[in-house]
Amino acid sequence: MHTLGARPVPRAAKKAGTSPMTDLRRPLSGILWLVVMLAGLGLALAPRASRADDFIVYSPYVTKGQSEVEVRGYQQRDGDPSLNGARAYEISVGHAVTDWWRPELYLGEYERQPGQAQQRVGNEFENTFQLTPQGEFWADAGFLLSYERNVQPGVPDAVEFGPLFEKQSGRFDHRLNMIWEKQVGGGANNKYEFRAAYSLSYKITAAIAPGFEAYVRPSDNSYQIGPVLSGELASARGSELEYRVGVVFGVNAAAPNQTFLARLEYEFF
C-alpha cells in the first residue's frame, strides 16, 4: 500500500543546468565512483519500508557561480480517500560554489495529508556533485547526498544518496536517478529505502520540451509514469526561468491514480 504518512515530501529538483569541468575533478571522480559502486551494490541488499512520494529527476550538471530559487510540489487524486488530495510543496535556494559541487538549502518543506491540515515537514541540506565532464563517457554522472531534518514528532531525520545520470542525444535528453534513503538519529530504523526515477524529453524549442517521467518506489509498492512538459525561458544576460508540469499515473493498484506535478525555478548569476 502506498503510504503518505508523516514522512518527508519530495526532495530537491535539479534542473537541466549545464556544467563546467576541470581536470581537478578527475581524482575526485575516481574516488566518488568507488563510493557510488560500493553503496549501490552493498546497500541494495538491505530491506526497505514504505516511503514518502518523491517526484523529481535530478540532473547531475553543476554550473559554477549559478544560483537558483525553486518552488515545486505535487497533488494526488485517487478513489481511495486515504490517498486523494494529498499534496506537498517545497521552497529551496542553491548556489554552485565550484564547477562540481552545488549545495542547496530547502527553506521549507510542507505537506498536507488527506483530511488533515497542512503542516511543515522540515528542512533539507542537499548536495549535488558532478563527477564527469559532459561527453567524456557514454553518459554523464553525478552524485546526490543530502541530510533531511524533520520537525514532525516521532519522525527521524534522514540521509539520502545515490548516483545521477544524464545522456544528451540530439534533441533528446535522458536522466536516471537511483536514490537510497536511510533514517538517522533517535528512533531511526535500520532500513535503506530505494527509489528510482527516469525521464525522457525532446526539445522542440528551449521553451517547449515534452516527454515523460517514470517513478519506481518498491518500498511503497508504487510505480508511476506519465507525460511531462518542461522548458526554459532564457534572457540574454544568462538568467533562466524553468518550468515543468505534468501528471503521472499509477501503474499498479497501490499507486495513486494521478499525481499532478509542477515546478518553477529561476537560475541566475
Partner 1 sequence: MKTYVGFAALALGLAMGAPALADNPATLRLVIAQHQFSPKELPVPGGVRVRLLIRNDDALPAEFESYDLSREIVVPGHSQVTVYIGPLKPGRYNFFNDFDHAVQGWVVVGGSAK
Residue 221 near partner 1 by CB under 8 A:
no
- Number of other residues whose CB lies within 10 A of the CB of residue 238: 12
Comparing CB distances to partner 1, the nearer of 45 and 117 is: 45
| Residue 171 cell numbers, joined | 534533441
Comparing CB distances to partner 1, the nearer of 123 and 128 is: 128
Residue 236 near partner 1 by CB under 8 A:
yes
- CB 263 within 8 Å of CB 71: yes
Binding mask 103-142 for partner 1 (x = CB under 8 A): -----------------------------xxxxxxxxxx-
Residue 146 near partner 1 by CB under 8 A:
no
The nearest distance, CB 81 to partner 1, in angstroms, is 32
Classified as helix, coil or strand, 241 is strand
CA dihedral 35, 47, 160, 131 (to 10 degrees): 30
How far is 236 from 65, CA to CA, in rounded Å? 17
Comparing CB distances to partner 1, the nearer of 74 and 165 is: 165
Comparing CB distances to partner 1, the nearer of 203 and 244 is: 203
Integer angstrom CA distances of residue 25 from 1, 72, 130, 146:
43, 31, 9, 20
Q: Which of 10, 20, 211, 226 binds partner 1 (CB under 8 A)?
A: 20
Comparing CB distances to partner 1, the nearer of 21 and 200 is: 21
The DSSP code sequence of 246-261 is EEEEESSTTS-SEEEE
- Number of other residues whose CB lies within 10 A of the CB of residue 45: 7
Binding residues for partner 1 (CB under 8 A)? 16-22, 33, 36-37, 40-41, 44-46, 61, 63-66, 99, 132-141, 163, 165, 168-171, 176, 178, 194, 196, 203, 206, 218, 234-238, 269
